[in-house]
Amino acid sequence: MPVRSRIIGVGSYLPTKILTNHDLEREVDTSDEWILDRTGIRERRIASEEEATSDLAFNAAKEALKGAGIKPEDLDFIIVATVTPDMLFPSSACLVQQRLGVKGIFAFDISAACSGFIYAISVADQYIRSGIHRTGLVIGADTFSRVVDWTDRNTCVLFGDGAGAVVLQADYNGRGIISTHLYSDGTLWDFLYIPGGGSRIPPGEEMVKKRLQYVKMRGNETFKVAVNTMSEAIGEALKSNGLTSADIKLFIPHQANLRIIQAVGKRLNIPMERFKINLDRYGNTSAASIPIALYEAVMEGEIKEDDYILLEAFGGGLTWGSALIRW
């Protein structure tokens, strides 16, 4: 039987500070009813002043390693999916590696926004399937509270901070990642992006004056593309493996907006109870949203051995993708 990458440990970390819709009512022109009706979000977690992305990632990694029953020195590589790294370089993955106290392995970040975790486990899966490496740590982590314009009610209500992690290991019993499906369309880059802080618009007075260091989003256009791309990613994963939606125990979508998930479910005739949803408590945690939801599904006993689960996401780039897993 061919080698597959099996998830042997899951972890999650969420900051302790909770920012509710009622809190936001006091900061911007919005209301709990408005936010809940349009997004399904009630509250989100916000990192403390002392916490950066690598701190969130490190805490999730520790739990995943503990759950897997392995030590950091058993790892062959570390991949962190994030678009809010501690700094431009070194990578947050290298900072996590340093915190874990493990040397002699490689570590790097992947930038695919909210699709980052799907991209990261796909890359990790190729290393393991090839036989080059046996065990890897994949983390999705973002601190969007640092790049959200808190005067923009259309974006500040959407995002939260968090991290989720998985340990992948070679398995020869038919379980693990069955297939991954990745896509992107750079012509739609300006649907969701942060214009400032890079080489195009470097940090400086002009960038700050025009508030270009913050997330910009074309909401209506992004919504439509998200429904189309997530539906496509699910359909391709099922078709490629000769399955139907009835074969999937649990769908774990990127937690961006409840309306998007509902529209995808309606389009594909998948009942809402088949989707794992926690965005009401955490908002959109970007690359962290799927591994956090996966962690909760495992801890709550929603996934059993040999169940098929399907992960699906879309994000800035635009990027999207899916991963079919036999647990």
Contact 144, 285 (CB under 8 A): yes
> What does the angle CA 83 – CA 89 – CA 93 come to, to the nearest 5 degrees?
65
Instruction: Say yes or no: domain 178-326 is CATH 3.30.565.10.
Output: no
In this predicted structure, the answer to whether residue 1 has a pLDDT above a threshold of 80 is no
What is the percent of the chain with per-residue pLDDT over 90, rounded to a whole number? Answer: 98
pLDDT for the residue 219: 85
pLDDT band, very low/low/confident/very high, at 254 (cuts 50, 70, 90): very high
pLDDT band, very low/low/confident/very high, at 139 (cuts 50, 70, 90): very high
pLDDT band, very low/low/confident/very high, at 3 (cuts 50, 70, 90): very high
In this predicted structure, the answer to whether residue 46 has a pLDDT above a threshold of 80 is yes
Residue-wise pLDDT for 85-107, tens only, equals 999 999 999 999 999 999 999 99
What is the percent of the chain with per-residue pLDDT over 70, rounded to a whole number? Answer: 100
pLDDT band, very low/low/confident/very high, at 2 (cuts 50, 70, 90): confident
pLDDT mean across residues, the chain? 96
Domain ranges of the chain: 4-173, 178-326
Instruction: Say yes or no: domain 4-173 is CATH 3.40.630.30.
Output: no
User: pTM, whole model, 2 decimals?
Assistant: 0.96
Which pairing describes strands 161-171 and 216-217: parallel, antiparallel, or unpaired?
Answer: unpaired
Structure tokens at 196: 């400032």
Report the catalytic residues. 114, 254, 284
DSSP run (H or E) holding 53: helix 53-68
Look at residues 310, 326, 286, 309 and name the one whose alpha carbon lies nearest to residue 110. Answer: 286
Asked if 4-173 and 178-326 have one fold, the answer is yes
pLDDT for the residue 66: 98
